[in-house]
């Protein structure tokens, strides 16, 4: 086959519309037509908002307290993660019925490479229409689909046709569609990069495209400058990756009140470590990089990481790293609203060390026994001692 005969890729980006809120409306029809926000507790964050709530400026990741001030009449509900996982699994099965090349990005969105499926199911646009119809008929929720020759443009297209829409951007229309967009439309342009681009007088994608590559690299660094230049010309050569290994496993918790006691903070770090390492062992993985996250009362946040010479999966060993990372901050007295633990640089191979100074034996065996007990009797059946609240004496009762 000559280069002229190479078939152009057809990529779909399928994104459920306000997924968590849509599932809540599906299960509770009385919510339809009303402003609905998934995210409970004044100190929590918004996980999803239906389009009625978005009219008031409410968006995902916004503090719930702020959302309540913006729309005090809105309905606020707690998330039901088991329902989202259940419906997501069935939606992904629909995607897989059209192509084996499905790359889930989250519970509610995925890339599909349907290049090789068109002989069976029609054009990319026809496949997208079939998927939208099937999802709505079988699951009772809607989705929006972007269709393009690349992942980058397909995702932009789906964002521009929400809710419940479909938009195809063919190769000869990419620059016409892409160049008028603001710089924040490009992957990798966050607040800091946007500020740097603004200082350069670059406000649209066309501005970036018409700036010399060398100028972007000098201002933003090799990786970012090169990436933005390529994407600004619509060039994205990434394939749809099936079953991409999980990049990290983590847990975080927003407290019901700000805390400043180091002992209490370490207890919460231990609880997050216990949850994260249990998930790690359940996936038969080991982590080399341990990261902690802290969000302070003023909403500023910091992260600290350590990469180990050998990957681990033990709660005890992981917590020792977490504890040292926290204590090294020397920020006693700072009021904290959230802590998190993330395990990255994941590996499937069991680490073996036979040299002098090898790790203490026994922690993996202990964790294995604990995992078996909790699987049978529940998470509360075996806990680290410092996570068990002492019972009140009769004098205190």
Share of the chain above pLDDT 70, in %: 85
Both tokens of 110, joined, read: 């995925």
Domain at 179-232, CATH from 3.40.640.10, 1.10.3720.10, 2.60.40.1120, 1.10.150.20: 1.10.150.20
What CA–CA distance (Å, rounded) separates 251 from 342? 7
pLDDT at residue 3 greater than cutoff 50: no
Determine which of 45-59, 112-126, 295-309 has the lowest per-residue pLDDT on average: 295-309
CATH 3.30.70.270 maps onto the chain at: 7-16+83-174
DSSP states of 354-381: -STTPPPSSHHHHHHHHHHHHHHH-GGG
Determine which of 54-68, 231-245, 351-365 has the lowest per-residue pLDDT on average: 351-365
- Binding residues, by number, are 15, 108
CATH homologous superfamily, domain 7-16+83-174: Reverse transcriptase/Diguanylate cyclase domain (3.30.70.270)
Output phi, psi for 219, to 5 deg. Answer: -80, -35
Q: Is 80 a catalytic residue?
A: no
Q: What is the mean pLDDT of residues 108-133?
A: 97
pTM of the full predicted structure? 0.71
What CA–CA distance (Å, rounded) separates 106 from 47? 13
- Residue 372, pLDDT score: 52
**Dihedral sign from CA coordinates of 194, 195, 200, 203:** positive
Catalytic entry in 52, 109, 168, 317: 109
Residue written as tokens 């280069």?
Answer: 3
CATH 3.30.1490.100 maps onto the chain at: 248-387
pLDDT at residue 304 greater than cutoff 70: yes
Where does residue 272 rank: exposed (0-12), middle (13-18), buried (19+ CB within 10 A)?
A: buried
Share of the chain above pLDDT 90, in %: 66
- Residue 397, pLDDT score: 40
Confidence of residue 356 (pLDDT cuts 50, 70, 90): very low
DSSP states of 166-181: EEE--GGGHHHHHTTS
Both tokens of 194, joined, read: 């946007």
Q: What is the mean pLDDT of residues 211-220?
A: 94
Residue 95: CB atoms within 10 A of its CB come to: 22
Residue 266: partners with Cβ closer than 8 Å, 6 or more residues away: 323, 326
pLDDT at residue 224 greater than cutoff 80: yes
**Strand positions, DSSP E, the chain:** 11-16, 36-38, 48-49, 75-77, 102-106, 109-113, 143-148, 166-168, 248-259, 286-296, 301-312, 336-347
- Residue 218, pLDDT score: 93
Residue 397: partners with Cβ closer than 8 Å, 6 or more residues away: none
Domain 248-387, what architecture? 2-Layer Sandwich (3.30)
Output phi, psi for 83, to 5 deg. Answer: -70, -40
Q: Is there a cis peptide before residue 210, judged by omega within 30 degrees of 0?
A: no
- Residue 188, pLDDT score: 80
CATH code at 20-80: 3.40.1170.60
- Binding residues for Mg(2+), by number, are 15, 108
* DSSP alpha helix (H) spans, 140-261: 151-159, 174-178, 191-199, 205-209, 213-220, 222-232
CATH 3.40.1170.60 maps onto the chain at: 20-80
pLDDT tens per residue, range 182-210? 999 998 898 889 999 999 999 999 999 99
């Amino acid at each position: 086959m000559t280069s002229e005969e190479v078939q152009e890729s057809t990529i779909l980006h399928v994104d459920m519309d306000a997924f968590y809120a849509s599932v809540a409306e599906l299960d509770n029809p009385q919510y339809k037509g009303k402003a609905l926000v998934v995210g409970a507790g004044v100190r929590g964050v918004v996980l999803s908002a239906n389009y009625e709530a978005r009219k008031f400026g409410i968006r995902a990741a916004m503090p719930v307290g702020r959302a309540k001030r913006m729309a005090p009449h809105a309905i606020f509900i707690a998330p039901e993660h088991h329902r989202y996982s259940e419906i997501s699994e069935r939606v992904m099965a629909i995607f897989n019925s059209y192509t084996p090349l499905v790359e889930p990005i989250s519970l509610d969105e995925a890339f599909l490479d349907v290049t090789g499926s068109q002989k069976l199911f029609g054009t990319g646009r026809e496949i997208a229409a079939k998927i939208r119809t099937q999802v709505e008929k079988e699951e009772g929720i809607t989705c929006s689909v972007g269709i393009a020759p690349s992942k980058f443009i397909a995702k932009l297209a789906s964002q521009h046709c929400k809710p419940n829409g479909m938009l195809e951007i063919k190769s000869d229309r990419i620059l016409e569609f892409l160049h008028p967009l603001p710089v924040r439309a490009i992957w990798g342009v966050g607040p800091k990069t946007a500020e740097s681009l603004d200082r350069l007088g670059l406000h649209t994608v066309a501005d970036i495209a018409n700036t010399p590559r060398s100028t972007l690299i000098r201002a933003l660094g090799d990786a970012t400058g090169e990436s933005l230049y390529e994407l600004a010309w619509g060039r994205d050569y990434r394939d749809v990756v099936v079953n991409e290994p999980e990049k990290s496993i983590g847990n975080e918790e927003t407290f019901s009140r700000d805390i400043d006691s180091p002992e209490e903070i370490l207890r919460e770090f231990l609880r997050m470590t216990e949850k994260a390492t249990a998930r790690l062992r359940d996936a038969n993985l080991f982590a080399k990089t341990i990261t902690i996250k802290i969000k302070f009362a003023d909403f500023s946040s910091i992260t600290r990481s350590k990469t180990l010479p050998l990957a681990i999966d033990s709660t005890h060993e992981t917590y020792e790293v977490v504890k040292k990372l926290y204590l090294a901050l020397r920020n006693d007295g700072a009021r904290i609203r959230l802590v998190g633990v993330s395990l990255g640089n994941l590996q499937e191979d069991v680490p073996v060390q036979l040299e002098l100074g090898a790790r203490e034996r026994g922690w993996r065996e202990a964790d294995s026994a604990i995992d078996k007990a909790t699987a049978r009797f529940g998470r509360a059946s075996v806990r680290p001692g410092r996570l068990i609240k002492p019972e009140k004496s009769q004098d205190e009762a």
